Amino acid sequence: MNPLKQAKGLYLGWRANRSKIALAGRAPDLALDPENLRLSLEDPSAYYVRAFQEFHHCLPAELKAHRAFFTQDSRGFGEDAFHVMWWRLVRKFEPNTFLEIGVYRGQVLSLISLIAKLEGIECHVTGISPFSPAGDSVSIYRSNLDYLEDTLANFRKFELSQPELIKAYSTDASALDVIASRKWDMIYIDGNHDYDIVLKDWHACSKAVESGGIIVLDDSGLSTNYRPPCFSTAGHPGPSQLASEIDRSEFEEIFQVGHNRVFRKR
Ligand SMILES: C[S@@+](CC[C@H](N)C(=O)[O-])C[C@H]1O[C@@H](n2cnc3c(N)ncnc32)[C@H](O)[C@@H]1O
């Protein structure tokens, strides 16, 4: 790798770490009630900081250990504050069925199972992904890994029941059949980030989610006033454009944590 690029990468990593440590050490702003989801839409930047601090001050130890495992050795993407988002969403909406489009190594799918287990909620989790290094115009993934076996091993590591994994692109007929096979309580779209594919994912999932059910759209914060700290990102153009086109008479936006935006079917 170009030594200048390498040095820049090291510097940015150091700066992000330093900023995280400083923020985690500060007491959370108690004036901002994190259970009031509307506040996350009014000031997504302040809410994100509050959620990040909740991760470090309030989250159950099992969930922090789960995040630590997926952060090690680049087993997962995401941000600490997103563990808080899922913790809040699962406890509030108690989904019995959860679908993830784009699984990678099972961080979110196993997190949902783990939160449900801790909270005594029966939740069947399903993931649709090619379980290969398939990327898109903004993402490249490592090639030397059996993603399906790795995801199953990560579920075993946390002593969770095995998930239902569908090895397919979300636009394949077999995947579309699975999406349409039931009314889902909660769906998380985080597969291919290119606009035309996210649009297809939204079309399939918005029909298949239960009335009152939830769709979380990852990487869609560029079209909001979220201003990320240096260790976070506002997302990608494809999902962000799609989010701004969602028909609000069908879906109400109820929550935002960083670049994750949460929509509820009316
Ligand atoms: C950003 S990663 C998902 C991370 C995951 N949500 C998590 O937090 O653990 C995106 C994943 O989607 C997969 N993917 C790419 N194109 C896809 C498609 N058309 N349908 C489903 N998944 C796709 C990629 O191979 C990758 O594993």
Tens-digit pLDDT profile for residues 99-129 = 999 999 999 999 999 999 999 999 999 999 9
Report how far residue 145's alpha carbon sits from residue 133's, in angstroms, rounded to the nearest whole number. 8
Task: State the pairing for strand pair 184-189/97-101.
Answer: parallel
The reply to whether 219 falls in a domain is yes
**Domain assignment of residue 50, yes or no:** yes
CATH of the domain at 28: 3.40.50.150
User: Both tokens of residue 49?
Assistant: 């900081």
Q: What is the pTM of this model?
A: 0.96
User: Is residue 12 one of the residues assigned to a domain?
Assistant: no
Tokens of 38: 């509307």
Domain count, the chain: 1
Residue 148 resides in a domain? yes
3: in domain: no
CB-based pocket (< 6 A), ligand 1: 76-78, 101-104, 107-108, 128-130, 134, 141, 169-171, 190-192, 197
Domain of residue 222 covers 19-265
Report if residue 234 sits inside a domain.
yes
For residue 62, pLDDT over 90 is answered with yes
* Other beta carbons within 10 Å of 28: 16
The number of residues making up the chain comes to 266
Long-range contacts of 135-139 (CB under 8 A, 24+ apart): 136/192, 136/193, 136/194, 136/197, 137/193, 137/194, 137/238, 138/193, 138/194, 138/236, 138/238, 139/193
Q: What is the pLDDT of residue 3?
A: 83
Block residue for tokens 């170009």: 2
Q: Is 170 helix (H, G, I), strand (E, B) or coil?
A: coil
Q: Using CB atoms within 10 A of its CB, is residue 254 exposed (0-12), middle (13-18) or buried (19+)? A: middle
- pLDDT exceeds 80 at position 1: no
Tell me the residue type at 264: R
Does residue 113 sit within a domain?
yes
Find how far residue 255's CA is from the centre of its chain. 13
Q: Which atom of ligand 1 is nearest to the CA of 128?
A: 21
- What is the best residue among 67, 77, 101, 103 to mutate for testing ligand 1's pocket, by most ligand atoms within 8 Å of CB? 103
Torsion sign, CA atoms 11, 83, 110, 264: negative
For 7, the token pair is: 């040095």
Average pLDDT over residues 31-46: 95
pLDDT tens-place string over residues 197-235: 999 999 999 999 999 999 999 999 999 999 999 999 999
Q: How many whole angstroms from 104 Cα to the centroid of ligand 1?
A: 5
